[in-house]
Amino acid sequence: MSATIDSDTAWDAFARRDRAFDGRFVVAVRSTHIYCKPSCAARRPRREHVAFLPDAAAAQAAGYRACRRCLPDSVARDRAAVIAAAALLAADAPPPLAALAAGVDYAPHHFHRLFHRLTGVTPAAYARTCRADRVLAALRASDGVTAAIYAAGYGAPSRFYADAARLGMTPQAAAAGGAGETLHWVRLAAPPGPLLLAASARGWSRFAFDEDVDEDGAALRAAFPAATLLRGDAAFRARATARVGRAAAVPADAALPLAIRNIAFRTLLHAQGNPD
Q: Rule CB under 5 A: which residues touch Zn ion?
A: 36, 40, 42, 67, 69-70
For 29, other C-beta atoms within 10 Å of its C-beta total 20
φ/ψ of residue 57, rounded to 5? -60, -40
CB 1 within 8 A of CB 10: yes
Least distance from C-beta 35 to Zn ion, angstroms? 8
Half-sphere exposure of 92 (CA within 13 A, CB side): 9
The DSSP symbol for 166 reads G
Beta strands in the chain (DSSP E): 26-29, 34-36, 50-53, 65-66, 182-190, 193-200, 203-209, 228-231
Residue type, 180: G
Least distance from C-beta 40 to Zn ion, angstroms? 3
Classify residue 194 as exposed, middle or buried by CB count within 10 Å of its CB (0-12, 13-18, 19+): middle
If the CB atoms of residues 10 and 264 are measured against Zn ion, the closer one turns out to be 10
Least distance from C-beta 69 to Zn ion, angstroms? 5
Helices 234-248, 258-271: crossing angle, 10 deg rounding = 110
Least distance from C-beta 68 to Zn ion, angstroms? 8
Residue 199 three-state SS: strand
Least distance from C-beta 56 to Zn ion, angstroms? 11
If the CB atoms of residues 42 and 151 are measured against Zn ion, the closer one turns out to be 42
Least distance from C-beta 41 to Zn ion, angstroms? 7
Least distance from C-beta 45 to Zn ion, angstroms? 11
For 181, other C-beta atoms within 10 Å of its C-beta total 22
The helix (H) or strand (E) run that includes residue 233 is: none
